[in-house]
Amino acid sequence: MTLKSKNKYLYRMTPEKIEKLFWIVLIAWVLLRTVLLGAQLTGNTDLQYAERVRRYFSDENIAMGRQYALSGFWVKSLYGFAYVGLLLVLIRSGFFSKAFDRITQATGTGLLRNELAFTVFTLAFLQLVALPYAYYMGFLRESAMGFSNLTSFGWLIKFFKSSMLSIFLETSGILILLWVLKSFSETWVFIVPVVMGVFSLMITILFPILITPLFYEQKPLEAGEFKEKLLEISARSGLKVDEIYVIDESRYSKHTNAYFTGVGPFRRIVLYDNLIKSHTPDEAALIFAHEAGHWRHNHVAKGLSLGFLAMIALGLILKFSFPYLASVKWFGLRDLASSANLPFFLLAVMIFQLFTAPIESQISQYMERQADRAALELTGLKEVYVEAEKRLAIDNKSDLLPSPLRVFWLYSHPPALERIELADSFEKQ
C-alpha cells in the first residue's frame, strides 16, 4: 500500500467507523474474558498432568486449591463485566463530561485546579464503586477460606488507607503526564517515557522506605544462625546486603511470601513473618535465595526498562489514534492534555490490557524461572526446595490444576508443579 493510498484509507475512517471498530473490540474483549473464565472453571483436565501433581500433593491439597481458586468465581465473573458496563454507560451518558464541566466552573482552569479536582473525583468515585467487590473478595472470601486475621472494621481501615495512597500516587502520575503533554506538544511521545520512567523509579526507591511502613512494622531480621545463612547466600550470589527485613503480615493474613524491591543501593529483600513461622530455616533460606535470584539478574531494573519501551510504543499508538478517537463525541475526549479524557482511557486500558496480558505474563514467568534456577545454584538444596514449594502451595491453597490457557495468558509465576519439577530435575553445574 502506497503512502498516498494509505492516507486516503485513513481519511475514510469516519466517526461511525471508529465507533463500530470500538464495539468490535469490546465484543472481542467480552468473548476473550468469557473463554478465560471458562478455563478457570474447568481447570486442567489432562489426566496425566493430574497424576504428576499427585506425586507431590494429596487429593485434599488439590481439592483445597480448586476450592480457593473458585471461591467467589461468579461474583468475580459478573463484577468484571458489570464494572466495564457501568463505566461505559457513564461515559456514553455524559456523566463524566458533565462532572468535568461543573468542576471547571467551580475551580477554574489549570493543572492544579480543574485537572487536579477532576482526576481526584474520578479515581475516588471508581474506588467507591469497587468497594463492595473488594470487601467481598478481600475480606469475606479470605475469612471464609481461613486466611484473614482482620476484623471487618480493620479491613475497611486498610482499604481506605490503600485507596488514599493509590489515589495520591495515581493523581501525581497523571498530573505529571498532563504537564508534559501541555509543555511539549510536539515531542511528548519521547519525553513522556523519560519523565514517567523517572517517576516510576522514584516510587520503586521510596516504596520500602516510605510506603511499606504505612502498612507494616518493618524490622531487621534478628541476629542468629538463620540470618548468617541468608547473608552467606547473598555473598555467594555476589550481592552486598546490609540488612534483611521482616514485615508483620500476620496482622492481616495467614499468607506466606517474600519479595524483592528497589534498585541499586536501595534494593532490599523482605520476608513475611508467616514465612519464618511456617517454614523450616532451610526452606525459608531457599525462598530468600529465590528473591536473591531476582536481585542477581537485576529484574527490577529490567522491568523498568521494558516499561520504558512499552510507554514509547503506547505513546506512538496514542499520537496516531487520538484524532480518530476524539471524533466520536460520546467518548468525551477533549484536548489531548486534559483530565476529561481519563474515564475513557481507563476503560480503554482495561480492555487493552487483557489482549496484551500474555506478553507481561510470559516475561514475568521467564524471570521467575531465572530466580528459581538461581536459588538452586546458590544452595544446591533441591530436595529442600521441593519441600519449600510444596509447603508454599499448600499454605496458600494454590490451584494445583490450573488451566494451561490461563497459565499462559495471565499467570505471573509458573504453576507449582512446574517449579517443583524444575527443582527435581536440576543438576548443579
Mean pLDDT for 117-137 is: 97
429 has pLDDT over 70: no
d(CA 184, CA 175): 14
- Grid coordinates representing 241 are 546486603
301: left (phi over 0), alpha (psi -120 to 50) or beta: alpha
Question: What count of other Cβ atoms lies within 10 Å of the Cβ of residue 36?
Answer: 18
312 has pLDDT over 80: yes
> How confident is residue 251, by pLDDT bands cut at 50, 70 and 90?
very high
pLDDT for the residue 42: 96
Between 385 and 69, the more confident residue is 69
pLDDT for the residue 221: 87
Q: How far is CA 12 from CA 119, 317, 319, 322, 324, in A?
A: 34, 19, 18, 15, 11
pLDDT for the residue 1: 46
Burial profile 109-141: b = 16 or more Cβ within 10 angstroms, e = fewer: eeeeebbbbbbbbbbeebbeeeeebbeebbbbb
Mean pLDDT for 402-423 is: 95
CB 273 within 8 A of CB 244: no
| Mean pLDDT value across the chain | 90
- Straight-line distance from the first to the last Cα atom of the chain, in angstroms, rounded to the nearest whole number: 53
> How confident is residue 427, by pLDDT bands cut at 50, 70 and 90?
low
pLDDT for the residue 287: 81
4 has pLDDT over 70: no
- How many residues make up the chain in this entry? 429
Q: What is the pLDDT of residues 263-300, one digit of tens each?
A: 666 777 788 998 888 878 888 888 888 888 888 888 87
pLDDT for the residue 3: 44
User: If you average pLDDT over each of 4-13, 70-79, 266-275, 294-303, which comes out highest?
Assistant: 70-79
> How confident is residue 6, by pLDDT bands cut at 50, 70 and 90?
very low
> How confident is residue 188, by pLDDT bands cut at 50, 70 and 90?
very high
52 has pLDDT over 90: yes
